[in-house]
Each structure stands twice: as structure tokens, then as C-alpha cells.
Amino acid sequence: MRKRFFGFLAVLFIPFAAHGREGTPVYYDNAYPAQYQRAPSAYMNQNVYVGTMPQRQIIGQRSYTYQTPRSNNPIANGTMTANGVSLPRSDDLVITAEFRRKYADFRFETGVQSILEWDGMVVNEIALHIEKDFVLRDYDVFAYAEYATGTVGGGGMSMDYDLRPYNNKEPDNGIFTISMGGQSGKIQDFKIGVGARHIWDVEGWKFSPILGYQVFKHDLKMNNHVYPNPAVYIPLMDQYGDYIFGDLNGNYYSVGQNQTDMAAANGWYQVCMSPEDLALAAVDPGTKQPIVGPDGELMTVGYNPLYEYLPWGVGPGECIVVGGDGMIMINGVTHIYNTTWSGIFLGLEIEKQMTYTDALRFYAQVSMPHYRAEGTWPNRDDWQQNPSFIDEGDNGAFQYQMELEYTYKASERVQVSLKASTEYFSIGNIGGELYVAGRSYLALDEEGKPIVETDMSSGFQVPILITEGPYTEKITDSLKSAVWQSFGLHLGVKYAF
């Protein structure tokens, strides 16, 4: 029984015995400090180590080398917490390329009762954003630069409203005319900024304030404008210049030109002039020429119902319509207005890492930018060109921008982002300069007749021609207001170097 037990132990310890022969660790006795320099035979009879074979490491006599594989630092993907994922700080240089599709409107009102509007513009932009993180006195700081450029690809139309007052004392009561047509333009946007990364943390939402400078330019054109030139009725008026209105009960009222809204609210209708209200020039039946009286005045006759639709095209009691001779098309560029908004802005970035690959980001920005615009009206020969006028100032200026972005981490260095944004710029009443073109005109006397003088070379009487050079006129209320607003969708790719 004992023999079999010891045989079992022998089988059990055979591997360890083999391992000891091939390299059992040696423990040297501290009592022999010079033993490392002795020959191997000196250790044969010393019971100062564990093992039976003299396979000892002799300092200074190793004749072999070995290599170990290079260790790779583990990649820190972040730590999952109750408030989201916490990622380590990164010093990577991140470059983002974006395609932006924006829908924009721009409108401004001048100080001479004119409103111009670019409505429903579709803007296609390409943008490049470069951002770098670094440490400044124990603060995580980042700096970035961004440039975007695009064109107005179509959509909507441009419009020009002209409000001309009946009376300068009542400038808000005017005649409304309009022209409309195509639009085109170019957009440029440049930003630089610096911010403190994640200085506040509220339940996993990390806040980063930003200070920066922005220059936003939109150069817009109106082209191929159509003036509808609609027909109008001739209103019946009294001797004081008031309109005549009536009601269904047969009553008539004199209504001032600035009280027509009151008349419409009462359900009254405006009385127009019919053929029987107007006199006609008398014509000799034989010669078909107007008849002139003894005192040289043109003779007139009243309207005869037998004339029917002659000469106005309407019958008795019907309203006389004038104008309406069809639309007028002005080909080419009719208006050019190049605008620049520039100034310092304050921004706030709020972001949260929802999972290891998904992140949400919200951005808000406000500023009070400086406004400068150059307008060129090619069809105004009384104004200089390039430019015709300048509007500049910062009264009542305000701007805000908001973005909501979702980012997906496709790999360690590549991210894909989808973003929605809105932007608003506005300016109040500001002044400017009008560049008046030079002109030449005839000198007139009090009766409106040309003043003549004798030409010394020919002796003939020739009218006096007065020539004025171009000059600049200061305008205190050149622009009443201007507003730009847009909504955009962004698709971007981010790469970390």
C-alpha cells in the first residue's frame, strides 16, 4: 500500500522535478557577498540554493538576449455614469466639413417709404470648421475658426414696394405699387472663437462659454423685375379733394383720403366716375378736328348715352378704368444690395455624451453687430453707381443663433453629425450717404422758359446750360430697419488628427 502511495506521489511531482531541472530559481545566501563572481564549480558542494542542477545566473557571463512585444496603451472609451458617459479630455485637432441647406428671408425699409424684400431664398453652403483643445493654467480651453460660403440657388422672389405719400405731412398714407422678379446672391460667414471646455456640469450636461468674432456677408441682387401696371378706377371727388362714398340706402358721404378705412368698416362703397361725369372735346364732323372757340379755348360737349361704350369702353353708370396697359418687364439686374454684419459675440455650448457613440449638443449665441450695406440701383441715372448709397450704423442692432446637433461616433477618429440651426439679424433706424450723379440742365426763368444768351463765336442766341458735378448727400434716416432670418439643416463629417 505504501509502495503504491509513494509511486503516486512520484508521478504527481515529475513535472515539477522537470521544471526544476530546466530553470529552478536560485536563492543566494547573503552571507557570501562575493559569490556572484565565483566559478560555477564553487557552488556544487554548497547547500545555499534550491535545486539540484547548477543552472545559476552568473553576473557578467550571460550570453543570450530576448525581446518583448511593445505594449499598447489601452484606449479610454469613457466611463458610464448615472448622468451619461464621461469621456477623457482630448488634445486632437478636429476638422469638420459640412453641407448646409438654408431657407432665408431678408427685408429692409428705406427712409423714403420704400421696402425691398428677398423672400424664400434657398441657400446652399459648404463650411469648414477647425477646432483645437489645449490646457491653459489648469483650464481646458479650445479655440476654433469657421468659414462658410454659398449661393442663392433659387426659390421665392424679390419684391420692391414703393409707398409714396399723398401728403408729406401724412407720410404713412400713400399709394401702394409693387414690382417683383427673380433673385440671386452669395453668402459668406466667418467666425473665430475661444472657449472654456466643460466648466460647469449639471447632471451630465456640460456647459462651455465662448467669446468670438463674426463677419456675416450676404450680397443680394434683384433681376428681371415685372411691374404689373394694373388698371385703376377714377374716384369721384368733391371740390375739397375728398372721396365720395355711398351706402345701400342711397346716402352719400364725403370722406377724407385718410379715412377710407372708416368708410369700409361702415360698409360704404366708393363712388367712381362714369362717362357722364366727364366732358368730351367737341370735334367738327367734317374735318374731324377739335373745335376751338373765339377766345381760343377748346370747346367741350357732354357725354351722350347714345355713344354707348365710346370713348371710355364702358357704358353709362359704369366706372371708368384707366391704365392697365399690360405689365412692364425690366430685364437684367435692377437692384444690388451688399450687406455686412460684424461684431463680437457671446456663445454657450451645452453638450451631453448620451452613450459611447451618441452625443447631443445645443449652442446659443447673441451679439450686437455693426451694420454696413452698399446699394447700387443700375436704373437710377440720377445716382452714382458702385455704389449708389451706403447705410451704416449699429442703432438697435441685435443677433441670435441657435443650433441643435446630434453626433454619432463611427470610429475612433471619424464622427458624423446632423444639425438644425436658426439665425436672426436686425438693425434699427440708421443714417447713411447718398451719392448723387452729376447732371446738366437748362436754366429757366420764372415762367419756366429757357434763359438764352448770345454765343460770341456765332452770334446766335443759345440756351444757358448748367452743369453740376457729382456730390455726396448725408442722410440721417437712410434706413428705417433691416431683418435677416434663416433656418438651416447641416450634414457634417468630423475627423480627429
Regarding whether 14 and 144 lie in a shared domain, the answer is: no
User: Residue 308 above 50 pLDDT?
Assistant: yes
Query: How far, in Å, CA of 307 to CA of 319, rounded?
Result: 15
DSSP, residue by residue, 146-163: EEEEEEEEE-SEEEEEEE
Residue 245 exposed, middle or buried by CB count within 10 Å (0-12, 13-18, 19+): buried
Quick one: what percent of the chain has pLDDT higher than 90? 44
Cell of 138: 489648469
Residue 342 lies in a domain: yes
Regarding whether 153 and 23 lie in a shared domain, the answer is: no
User: Residue 99 above 90 pLDDT?
Assistant: yes
User: Residue 280 above 60 pLDDT?
Assistant: yes
Residue 424 lies in a domain: yes
Q: Tell me the per-residue pLDDT of 440-489, one tens digit each, with 9 for 90 and over.
A: 888 888 777 888 888 888 888 888 888 989 999 999 999 999 999 999 99
Residue 3 exposed, middle or buried by CB count within 10 Å (0-12, 13-18, 19+): exposed
User: Residue 17 above 90 pLDDT?
Assistant: no
User: Residue 186 above 90 pLDDT?
Assistant: yes
Residue 87 lies in a domain: no
User: Residue 37 above 90 pLDDT?
Assistant: no
Q: How confident is the model at residue 146 (pLDDT cuts 50, 70, 90)?
A: very high
Lowest mean pLDDT among 11-20, 37-46, 200-209, 265-274: 11-20
Q: How confident is the model at residue 368 (pLDDT cuts 50, 70, 90)?
A: very high
Kindly state the helix (H) or strand (E) to which residue 18 belongs, with its residue range. Answer: helix 2-23
Q: Tell me the per-residue pLDDT of 297-306, one tens digit each, with 9 for 90 and over.
A: 888 888 888 8
Please, what is the Cα angle at 446 between 443 and 448, to 5 degrees?
60
Cell of 32: 557570501
Please indicate whether residue 86 or residue 446 has the higher confidence score (pLDDT): 446
Kindly state the helix (H) or strand (E) to which residue 9 belongs, with its residue range. Answer: helix 2-23
| Single-letter amino acid, residue 179 | S
Q: How confident is the model at residue 84 (pLDDT cuts 50, 70, 90)?
A: low
Regarding whether 214 and 104 lie in a shared domain, the answer is: yes
Residue 71 lies in a domain: no
Lowest mean pLDDT among 85-89, 148-152, 344-348, 426-430: 85-89
With beta carbons less than 8 A apart as the criterion, state whether 194 and 211 touch: yes
Residue 78 lies in a domain: no
CA dihedral 318, 320, 326, 327 (to 10 degrees): -110
Residue 17 lies in a domain: yes
Q: Cell numbers 464621461 label which residue? A: 86
Residue 341: the pLDDT is 98
Regarding whether 187 and 39 lie in a shared domain, the answer is: no
Please, what is the Cα angle at 128 between 123 and 129, to 5 degrees?
120
Regarding whether 197 and 108 lie in a shared domain, the answer is: yes
Q: Tell me the per-residue pLDDT of 247-277, one tens digit each, with 9 for 90 and over.
A: 888 899 999 887 888 888 888 888 888 888 8
Q: How confident is the model at residue 20 (pLDDT cuts 50, 70, 90)?
A: very low
What average pLDDT does range 356-371 have in this prediction? 96
Quick one: what percent of the chain has pLDDT higher than 70? 78
Number of domains in the chain: 2
Regarding whether 159 and 28 lie in a shared domain, the answer is: no
Residue 12: the pLDDT is 42
Regarding whether 151 and 37 lie in a shared domain, the answer is: no
Residue 234: the pLDDT is 84
Regarding whether 488 and 359 lie in a shared domain, the answer is: yes
Regarding whether 30 and 111 lie in a shared domain, the answer is: no
Q: Write out the residue range of the structural domain in which residue 434 sits.
A: 99-165+181-224+336-439+470-496
Looking at every residue in the chain, the average pLDDT score rounds to 82
User: Residue 74 above 90 pLDDT?
Assistant: no
Q: Tell me the per-residue pLDDT of 370-412, one tens digit each, with 9 for 90 and over.
A: 999 999 999 888 899 989 999 999 999 999 999 999 999 999 9
Residue 447 lies in a domain: no
Residue 92: the pLDDT is 83
What average pLDDT does range 65-75 have in this prediction? 53
Residue 454: the pLDDT is 86
Regarding whether 489 and 381 lie in a shared domain, the answer is: yes
Q: Cis bond leading into 311, ω under 30°?
A: yes
Residue 16: the pLDDT is 44
Residue 430: the pLDDT is 96
Regarding whether 485 and 388 lie in a shared domain, the answer is: yes
Q: How far apart are the first and last CA of the chain?
A: 74
Please indicate whether residue 428 or residue 446 has the higher confidence score (pLDDT): 428
Q: Tell me the per-residue pLDDT of 115-133, one tens digit each, with 9 for 90 and over.
A: 899 999 999 999 999 999 9
- Is the pTM higher than 0.75? no
Regarding whether 114 and 33 lie in a shared domain, the answer is: no
Q: Which of 65-69, 84-88, 270-274 has maximum average pLDDT?
A: 270-274
Backbone angles phi, psi at 7, to 5 degrees: -65, -35
Lowest mean pLDDT among 31-40, 158-167, 244-253: 31-40
| CATH code, domain carrying 220 | 2.40.128.90
Residue 310 lies in a domain: no
Residue 9: the pLDDT is 43
